[in-house]
Amino acid sequence: MAIKERMSGNEAVSYAIRQINPDVMPAFPITPSTEIPQIVSTYIANGEIDTEFIPVESEHSAMSATIGAEAAGARSLTATSSAGLALMWEELLLAASNRLPLALALVNRTLSGPININCDHSDGMGARDTGWIQIYAENNQEAYDNFLQAYPIAENPNVHLPIMICQDGFITSHAVENIELLEDETVREFVGEYQPEEYLLNPGKPIAVGPYSVSNYAMEGKKNQEIALENAKQVILDVAEKFRAVSGRGYGLFEEYKTEDAEYIMLMIGSAAGTAKQAVDDLRDQGKKVGVLKLRVFRPFPAKEIAEALRHAKAVAILDRCESYNGNGGPLGGEVSAALFRNKVMIEAVNYIYGLAGRDFTVSDACDIFGELEDMVQNGKEVEQYQYVRLRK
Amino acid sequence: MKNGIEIRWHGRGGQGAKTAALLLADVAFKTGQNVQGFPEYGPERMGAPITAYNRISADKIRVHSNIYHPDYVVVVDETLLDSVDVTAGLKKTGAIIVNTAKAKEEIAGRLNGYEGRVFTIDARKISMETLGKNFPNSPMLAATVAVSGVMPREKFITEMRASYEHKFAKKPEVIDGNMKALELAFDHLEKAIKSEKMSLTA
C-alpha cells in the first residue's frame, strides 16, 4: 500500500535513507550542507535506524570517511550541496576510480560568486567528469524514488561506481509537496542487504584499495572505469523496471512528455521540466506540436538515445542551468549537440542558459522559447545559437 | 494547473510567514488536495522581507516557478506596504489580507489602486489576547482559509488541532491559545465577508 504524504525534497530523501538504513553516514553537519544529515541524525538519535553517523570537520573529510567506510565493506553515503561538493572534488575521483558504490544526496545549488545560496546545477555539472553516476529529479517524488534505486544500481557487479542523486536546491528541497511513499518492508526487500565482493575488513582475503599504478597499467584501469559507466545504462533501466513493479512508477534514462509527434522539443534537467510541461499543455491547446525531453540520467550520458528521440523534431531547445564559461554554451548544450552530430540528426539546436543562481523560470519563459524555435524554423528568423533566458538587459 | 488557487505571502524574517505557508500546505493536504508550499529565500536575517507561496489544487501540480498572478495575497507585516509592491499581479477577482490595527479604508488607499477585495485583521491583538505574545501566523492562517475558502471551517479547525497537538507535543499549554487565535480570526473574517456581501447587495 502506498503511503500518501506531503514532504519537502529534503525530508523525502531523508525518509528514503531511513528506510534503507545504510551502515555509515559521514557528513559535514552545517552550511553549506542541507537538512538531510540533520533529519537522518534525528532518526538515528530516536533509534529508528542504526546507521553510524560521523560528524566531520569538512566535506573533504566527509567524502574521505565515506570512501573509507565503503572500502571497509559498509554501505555508506553522505549528503551535501554547492560549495560542499566543490570541496569534495579530489575525493569524488577517488570514490569512482576505486569503484566504490557509495551514494551522495546532492541538493543542487550555485557556486560562488557572487555569494548566493539558490538553485542552479553548477555544483553537479562541475562534478560531471569525476566518473560518478548522476541522476536528477523533477520533484520530491522523483528524488525519493531515485534514492531508493541508488544502491541497486551502484552495487551491481557490472557497475561498482558511486552514485549522485540530485535535486534542485530550494525549488524541490525546501518545497512541501504531495508524495507517495513505499512501505518500509517493500523498500528493504527492493534494496536488499549489501553483499560486497571484495572489501578491506575481510579476514583471509586481503586487498589493497587505492595503490599506485604504473603507466603501463593505469590507462586500462581508467578504461575499465569507463566501461563500468557504460554498463550502468542498462542496469539503471533494469532497476527502474524492478522499481516499477513495486511502486507502479516507471523511469527511464529520460522522460519524453508529448514528444511523439512534436516538432519542437525542449530538453532540460530538473524541476523546470515540470514548468515546461505546463507550457506544453497550454501550447498544445493552441494546436502547437511541442514536447519536453527531461533528462534523468546525465551520467552515463544517453547520447544515442537522446539523438534518436530528437530525430523527427524540427528543432530542439537545450536548456542549461549552468554556465560552462567556454564561450560556446553549457554542458548539456555541448553534449547534446555532439550527440546529434555523431548520430547524423541534423536538426536545429539552440542552447539556452537559464535559472542561474535561482533566477526563476516560468511557464511563459518556456512558451517564449517554443515560440522562438517556431519562428526560426517557419520564418527563417535568425536566432542566437547560445543565449540567456530572462537576463536583465 | 488549471483548477486551484495560488497564494503569495509577504512577511519579515522571523514572523512565521514561511511556517504559515507550510502549515497551510499541510492542512490542505489533509483535506485531500494537491499542495505546494515553498519560501523564496534571500539573505537569512531577522526582519528582512520574505516571500512564501502556496499552490492548492485538485490536479497534480507541476509548475515550479514563483507565483506572479496570485489569487490571494497575505501581508503579515503592514510596514511592508511601504517597500514592497504587495499587490503586483494580484487578480482583481481575488483578495488581499493585511495584518493591521488600522481601518480597512486606510489600508485600501495604500495598495497602488488595487481594485479587488481588501480584508484587514489585527492579528497582533488576537495573538496577544490568546497567546500573550505576538505570533501573527496562526490568525493570518485562519484569515487566509476564511477568505480563500480552500476548506470548510470545521475541517480546518479539526486538522489544525491535530497539527498543533503534534507540533507542540512538548508544549501543550500553547495549543488552546493557538486554537482560540484561529477561532477569533475566523470569526472576524466571517463577519467581514458577510458585511461585504451585504454592502454589495444593498
Task: Please report residues of B whose CB lies closer than 8 A to that of A177.
Answer: 25, 34-36, 61
Q: What band does B2 get if pLDDT is binned at 50, 70 and 90?
A: low
Would the pLDDT of A23 be above 80? Answer: yes
Q: Are residues A103 and A168 in the same domain?
A: yes
Task: Please report residues of B whose CB lies closer than 8 A to that of A358.
Answer: 41
Last residue of a domain, one of A229, A247, A265: A247
Total of domains in chain B:
1
Asked if A172's CB is within 8 angstroms of B63's CB, the reply is: no
Considering only A22-31, A120-129, A368-377, B13-22, which range has the smallest mean pLDDT?
B13-22
Q: Are residues A260 and A233 in the same domain?
A: no
Q: Are residues A38 and A134 in the same domain?
A: yes
Give the model confidence (pLDDT) of B153-183 as tens digits.
999 999 999 988 888 888 888 999 999 999 9
Q: Are residues A264 and A228 in the same domain?
A: no
pLDDT of residue A122: 98
pLDDT mean over B95-124: 96
Amino acid sitting at position A366 = A
Asked if B64's CB is within 8 angstroms of A139's CB, the reply is: yes
Q: Are residues A102 and A203 in the same domain?
A: yes
Q: Are residues A194 and A275 in the same domain?
A: no
Residue B142, min C-alpha distance to chain A (Å): 19
Task: Please report residues of B whose CB lies closer than 8 A to that of A118.
Answer: 41
pLDDT of residue B41: 77
List the domain range (segments joined by +) for residue B171.
5-201
8 Å CB contact between A270 and A124 = no
- Provide the CATH number for the domain around residue A276: 3.40.50.920
pLDDT mean over A68-85: 98
Q: What band does B202 get if pLDDT is binned at 50, 70 and 90?
A: low
Give the model confidence (pLDDT) of A202-218 as tens digits.
999 999 999 999 999 99
Give the nearest partner residue to A362 out of B22, B34, B65, using CB atoms. B65
Would the pLDDT of A123 be above 90? Answer: yes
Helix (H) or strand (E) holding B137: helix B137-148
pLDDT of residue B16: 85
- Provide the CATH number for the domain around residue B22: 3.40.920.10
Q: Are residues A243 and A258 in the same domain?
A: no
Asked if B66's CB is within 8 angstroms of A6's CB, the reply is: no
The interface pTM score, or ipTM, of the predicted complex is 0.93
8 Å CB contact between A63 and A91 = yes
Residue A331 half-sphere exposure, CB side, CA atoms within 13 Å? Answer: 19
Would the pLDDT of A1 be above 80? Answer: no
Asked if A174's CB is within 8 angstroms of B38's CB, the reply is: yes
Q: What band does B15 get if pLDDT is binned at 50, 70 and 90?
A: confident
Would the pLDDT of B77 be above 80? Answer: yes
pLDDT mean over A49-71: 98
Task: Please report residues of B whose CB lies closer than 8 A to that of A363.
Answer: 63, 65
Q: Are residues A212 and A286 in the same domain?
A: no
- Provide the CATH number for the domain around residue A149: 3.40.50.970
Q: Is residue A393 part of a domain?
A: no
Task: Choose the mutation target among B64, B68, B163, B166 for the interface with A, i.e. most A CBs under 10 Å.
Answer: B64
If DSSP states are collapsed to H, E and C, what string results for chain A? CCEEEEECHHHHHHHHHHHHCCCEEEECCCCCCCHHHHHHHHHHHCCCCCCEEEECCCHHHHHHHHHHHHHHCCCEEEEEECHHHHHCHHHHHHHHHCCCCCEEEEEECCCCCCCCCCCCCHHHHHCCCCCCEEEECCCHHHHHHHHHHHHHHHCCCCCCCCEEEEEECCCCCCCEEEEEECCHHHHHHHHCCCCCCCCCCCCCCCCCCCCCCCHHHHHHHHHHHHHHHHHHHHHHHHHHHHHHHHHCCCCCCEEEECCCCCCEEEEECCCHHHHHHHHHHHHHHCCCCEEEEEECEEECCCHHHHHHHHCCCCEEEEEECCCCCCCCCCHHHHHHHHHHHHCCCCCEEEEEECCHHHCCCCHHHHHHHHHHHHHHHHHCCCCCCEEECCCCC
Asked if B37's CB is within 8 angstroms of A175's CB, the reply is: yes
Q: Is residue A331 part of a domain?
A: yes
Total of domains in chain A:
2
Q: Are residues A281 and A349 in the same domain?
A: yes
Q: Are residues A108 and A207 in the same domain?
A: yes
List the domain range (segments joined by +) for residue A69.
3-247
Task: Choose the mutation target among A178, A275, A280 for the interface with B, i.e. most B CBs under 10 Å.
Answer: A178
Chain A / chain B CB contacts < 8 angstroms: 64
pLDDT of residue B196: 83
Would the pLDDT of B44 be above 70? Answer: no
Q: Are residues A24 and A89 in the same domain?
A: yes
| Residue A362 falls in which region: left (phi positive, over 0), alpha (psi -120 to 50) or beta | beta
Last residue of a domain, one of A247, A269, A291: A247
SS3 B76: coil
Last residue of a domain, one of A212, A247, A282: A247
Task: Please report residues of A whose CB lies closer than 8 A to that of B48.
Answer: none
**CA A175, CA A90: separation in Å to the nearest integer?**
32
Task: Please report residues of A whose CB lies closer than 8 A to that of B39.
Answer: 170, 174
Q: Are residues A237 and A343 in the same domain?
A: no
Q: Which residue of chain A has the CA closest to B53?
A: A175
